[in-house]
Amino acid sequence: MVVLEFCISFFRSLKYNFVISTLFLISIVIALLSTNEVVLAGSAATLLALLLVTYARVFFSIFRPRNLFQIYTKIFSTWRTHVETQGKLDEGIRTLPVAALSEDQRKKWTSSLEGTVLFNRAALFAGKRLRNYQNSFVNFGSSLLITLSLLIGTAICFGFINLALYKMDPTLFAIQKEQSLFIFMYYSFKTLFLTSINELVPVATLSQLTSIIENIFFFLLATILASLVFSVKTQRYSNELNAAISRIEGEGREIERFIQVEYNIGTI
């Protein structure tokens, strides 16, 4: 189910994924190789813009129906309309008992019934699979994986952003070791988790502002993770409540049958 959802989302966003990936690769290559200040500034701005767009899509996806569920609904709605059209019996067949049907009428009756029963079983099977998916933690696991990917991607992007800023103006940072890609990635991961390192310190307004922006992304990630945890707790509460309601209603139906048998009452 998760793999199918991923494949559907990937191919529906193929153009977007291609553009984002291309811009990301071009930006990090520029940050690594270029020495032109204007080009480096454009690289840093592009990486920050890509992060903002990615986070906006993630937040939007929280309130948007899943692609897989939309496809399931559309398929079964279209299929049901087709089955009802094909399975509609002629007035002469529908009003007669099965034993009174001719050979051709019986074939028509059997064929129509098979199609409608097949749809009925397929819909019930799909509904059961979706309910099992709803009650499992697979959905939470996939969302957690997306959050982890966002975390790593954010740290990497800011690592290259800070590298581009340093190559634009080395006085933006106080660096105690030889400049390397690793030290900027290490600094970026530390900054994302609201900590700092002595080897690389932002000392100018622009580098300090970039550090603050990265801290803001940490809180955005924390918000996404908190929403996932809240969603799981809400789902578990809903499942437990539905189970309790079903058991209580079952007890009521049992005593209703007891009254009907014991007191010879048809309905209550």
Domain ranges of the chain: 2-64+137-262
- 175: alpha, beta or left? (left if phi > 0; alpha if psi -120 to 50): beta
167-216 pLDDT, tens digit each: 999 999 998 877 889 999 999 999 999 898 989 999 999 999 999 999 99
Helix ranges, the chain (H): 2-12, 14-33, 37-63, 67-87, 91-94, 103-135, 138-168, 181-192, 205-262
Residue 200 backbone phi and psi in degrees, to 5? -145, 120
HSE-CB for 220 with a 13 A CA cutoff: 18
Rounded distance, CA 78 to CA 85, Å? 11
Lowest-confidence pick of 104-108, 136-140, 149-153: 136-140
Cα separation, 221 vs 41, in Å, equals 25
What is the average pLDDT across 10-29?
Answer: 81
pTM of the predicted model over 0.95: no
φ, ψ of residue 202 to 5 degrees: the values are -75, 125
